[in-house]
Amino acid sequence: MAPSPSDAWIRSIDATYALFERPENREAYPALAAKVESAVRIIEAALSEFRYVHDSCSVERCALSFNGGKDCTVLAHILAAVLRRHTNAGAHELLRLEALYVACSSPFQEVEEFIAYAASPETGYNMSLHTEQGSMKEALARYLDGAPGKPLAPGPGRTEIATRPAPSEPPHAPHDVRAMFIGIRRRDPHGSSLEVRAPCDPGWPPIMRVHPILDWDYDEIWAFLRCPVLGTPPAPAPSCVGGGGAHGVPYCALYDQGYTSLGSTYNTRPNPCLAIEGTDRFCPAYKLRDCASERAGRG
């Protein structure tokens, strides 16, 4: 029998809509509810224009850019909720989602283990994950061409689900993707001048970039990930996973070690603003007060 998500995990995903549809949640979380509703409407519009459902179990023509970071984890959760609401997914089903992971040089092992966890049809968002290296432009071109993906770096507890093609997918099948959901925000490098929807630049593959959380701030990302409305009963999880349970949505455990922005092991350290005086320990990322210091740990 194929692995399937738990009822609690399905409820967490479906609760995304409850954040803004239920009056008591809008009252308790007014700013977050407004941001989530805006992101949902952006995704709904893009899916209506670009996607179609293939063989009742996957969505074609739309894909997610996923690197295991906090922003794309928020986006994956919201996207999964929209897909369940607006497709013929069964009561306990997550439609398979095309996703592209462009690995940096020397990625953290914890990040890649979390990516495998988040891609799983049982513990995550049921991604058909294609892994590439190099520049985003080159990776996107190879992905659309159907070139074989790269394996995730080996590590303890690694599952293979993240790098397997879908069972029905030939070894070299071009991906007919027209729109890519990207979890960039305005404070990110190159984010300040973006629009919510924008075609790729000339010379790039001809797809539409969709940025549903473009106008979210750092603290709103954490308000979503740690929102109890999205919580689930406590359950065992591997060491690469932080959050989850009653605290909200699972995320990469490095954020609980003081990392606030994840990149290569060569240039990423815990945020010095979160250092606990007199110790070598750091507060978790959601404790950061100054959102402008989000990238203080990046070299």
- Both structure tokens of 199: 């075609």
In terms of C-beta density within 10 A (0-12 exposed, 13-18 middle, 19 or more buried), how is residue 124 classed?
buried
Neighbouring C-beta atoms of residue 239, cutoff 10 Å: 11
Phi, psi of 37 (to 5 degrees): -60, -40
**Is residue 209 within a helix (H) or strand (E), and if so which, with residue range?**
strand 208-210
CB 3 within 8 A of CB 120: yes
Max CA-CA distance within the chain? Answer: 58
Q: Render each residue's pLDDT in the chain as its tens digit; 299 residues.
A: 667 899 999 999 999 999 999 999 999 999 999 999 999 999 999 998 887 655 555 677 899 999 999 999 999 999 999 999 988 677 788 988 999 999 999 999 999 999 999 999 999 999 999 999 989 999 999 999 988 777 665 444 444 434 444 444 455 678 889 999 999 999 888 878 899 999 998 999 989 999 999 999 999 999 999 999 999 999 899 999 999 999 999 999 999 999 999 999 999 999 999 999 999 999 999 999 999 999 999 97
Q: What are the structural domains of the chain? A: 7-210 (3.40.50.620)
CB 151 within 8 A of CB 105: no
- Which amino acid is located at 214 in the chain? L
pTM of structure: 0.91
- Looking at residue 171, its pLDDT comes to 56
